């Protein structure tokens, strides 16, 4: 098997883990679920970077598509912000 196939397989695995992490935040919005979501985002970003470094995907195309997708979906985000979790006992949300 070509070495690059290992990068494709790991990218697929990490995308699956990101899907599961999103589902857990929807179902159980806990600090742990959000921490795991952030970690899985990092894993997927890392493999996107590795795909770019390998030459399998063109960085310019990735960046242009990313920019356009952000412009498309940013208005939706304005109406669907997730409330910030207050996890420390001393936070202003819990004391007041």
Residues that bind Mg ion (CB under 5 A): 14, 17, 40, 43
Q: Which is nearer to Mg ion, 14 or 33 (CB)?
A: 14
Helices 59-78, 31-54: inter-axial angle, 10-degree rounding: 150
Q: Which is nearer to Mg ion, 39 or 58 (CB)?
A: 39
Closest approach, Cβ 11 to Mg ion, in A, equals 11
Rounded to 5 degrees, what are φ and ψ at 75? -60, -35
Closest approach, Cβ 21 to Mg ion, in A, equals 8
Closest approach, Cβ 15 to Mg ion, in A, equals 9
State which residue has the least CB distance to Mg ion.
Answer: 43
Q: Which is nearer to Mg ion, 7 or 17 (CB)?
A: 17
Q: From CA 84, how far away is CA 80, in angstroms rounded?
A: 12
Q: Which is nearer to Mg ion, 49 or 86 (CB)?
A: 49
Contacts of 28 (CB under 8 A, 6+ apart): none
Q: From CA 48, how far away is CA 38, in angstroms rounded?
A: 15
């Amino acid at each position: 098997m070509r070495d690059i196939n290992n990068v494709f397989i790991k990218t697929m695995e990490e995308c699956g883990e990101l899907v599961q992490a999103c589902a857990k935040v929807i179902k159980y919005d806990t600090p742990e679920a959000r921490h795991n979501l952030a970690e899985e985002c990092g894993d997927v970003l890392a493999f996107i970077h590795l795909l770019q470094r390998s030459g399998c995907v063109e960085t310019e195309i990735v960046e242009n598509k990313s920019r356009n997708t952000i412009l498309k979906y940013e208005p939706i985000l304005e109406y669907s912000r997730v409330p910030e979790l207050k996890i420390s006992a001393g936070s202003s949300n819990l004391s007041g």
